[in-house]
Amino acid sequence: MTLTGIGVLLIGIAFLILAIFLANTLQHMAGMLKGVEKTVDRLPDQLDDVMKETGVLISESNNTLADVNEKMKQLTPFFEMAGDMGDATRKLSSSLVDMTETMKNKTEEASGISGKNNLGGLYGSFALGYYLLQKGRRAKSEGASKDGQ
C-alpha cells in the first residue's frame, strides 16, 4: 500500500465517522420535529378554548361596565347636589369672613375714638345701667304675672 492509498483510506474513515455523526444528529432533530408536530397539531384546539374563554371574559366585562355606568347615572344627582352645597358653603363662609373683617375694622375704629376721647368708662356705665334697668323691668313683669295667677 502506498502513501496515497493510506491517505485515501484515512479520508474514507473520516468521511464514515462524519456520516455517522451527522446521521445521529439528524435522528435527534427528527425526534424534535415530531414533538413540534404534535404540539402544532394540538394548537388549534387549545386556541379554540382560549378564544371561547376570551369571549366570555369580554362579555362579562361589558356587563360589569354597563352596570357601573348605570349606577354612576343614578349617583350623578348626588354629586351635583354636593357640589352645589360646597359652592353655597364657600359663598357663605366668604361672606362671613368679609362681615367679620368689616366689624373688626369698625370695632378698631370705635376703640380708637373712645380711647382718644376717654369715653370707654362712660359707655360701660351706660351699658351697665341699661342692663340693670332691663333686668329690673323683667323681674317686675314676672312678679306681676305670678301675683295675677
Select the highest-mean-pLDDT range: 15-19, 37-41, 141-145: 15-19
Residue type, 143: G
Q: Is the pLDDT at 144 greater than 80, yes or no?
A: no
Model confidence over 50-61: pLDDT tens digits? 999 999 999 999
**pLDDT for the residue numbered 11:** 94
Q: In total, how many domains does the chain have?
A: 1
Q: pTM for this structure?
A: 0.39
Model confidence over 58-75: pLDDT tens digits? 999 999 999 999 998 888
Average pLDDT over residues 84-109: 84
Q: Which 3-state string (H, E, C) describes 70-110?
A: HHHHHHHHHHHHHHHHHHHHHHHHHHHHHHHHHHHHHHHHH
The H or E element containing residue 149 is none
Residue 115 domain-assigned?
yes
In sequence order, the 6+-apart residues with CB closer than 8 A to the CB of 123 are 114
Residue 119 domain-assigned?
yes
Task: Tell me how far CA of residue 28 lies from CA of 24, 33, 66, in angstroms.
Answer: 6, 9, 55
Residue 141 domain-assigned?
no
**pLDDT for the residue numbered 35:** 92
- The domain containing residue 104 runs over which residues? 3-133
Residue 149 domain-assigned?
no
Residue 145 domain-assigned?
no
Q: Which 3-state string (H, E, C) describes 7-45?
A: HHHHHHHHHHHHHHHHHHHHHHHHHHHHHHHHHHHHHHH
Residue 144 domain-assigned?
no
CB 120 within 8 Å of CB 114: yes
